[in-house]
Structure 1
Amino acid sequence: MNKFLSGRVILYSFIVALTATSGSLYFSEIAGFTPCILCWYQRIFMYPLVLVLGVGLFTKSKDVWKYVLPLSLVGLSVAFYHYNLQINPSLLAPCTTIGFSASCSERFVTEFGYITIPWMAFSAFTLVTIAMLLLKSRKN
Structure 2
Amino acid sequence: MLAWLLATVATLGAMFLGEVMGMTPCVLCWYQRIFMFPIAIVLGIAAYLNDRQGAIYALWLALGGLCLAAYHTLLVAGWIPRTWTPCGSGVSCANQRLDLFNGAVQIPWLSLAAFTVLVLLLFTYLRKTAR
Residue 139 of structure 1: how far off its partner (Å): 1.7
Q: What residue number does 1:5 align with? A: none
TM-score of the superposed pair, with normalisation by structure 2:
0.89
Residue aligned with 2:105, SS: coil
Matched, 1:77 2:39: no
| Residue 93 of structure 2: aligned partner | 104
Aligned residues: 129
Matched, 1:32 2:29: no
Percent identity over the alignment is 33
Give me the whole-angstrom Cα distance separating, in 1, the residues matched to 2:45 and 2:124.
19
Deviation at 1:56, TM superposition (A): 0.5
Deviations 1:75-113 (A, max 9, x none): 00100110111110761125385133x101223124365
> Structure 2 unaligned runs (5+)?
none
Unmatched runs of 5 consecutive residues or more in structure 1: 1-10
2:109 maps to 119
Distance in 2 between residues matched to 1:93 and 1:34, nearest whole Å: 21
Change (3 A) 1:96 1:45: closer
Note the C-alpha offset of 1:30: 1.2
Q: How does 1:56-75 map to 2 (within 5 A)?
A: 56-75=46-65
The 4+ residue runs of structure 1 with deviation greater than 4 A are none
Aligned residue number for residue 77 of structure 2: 87
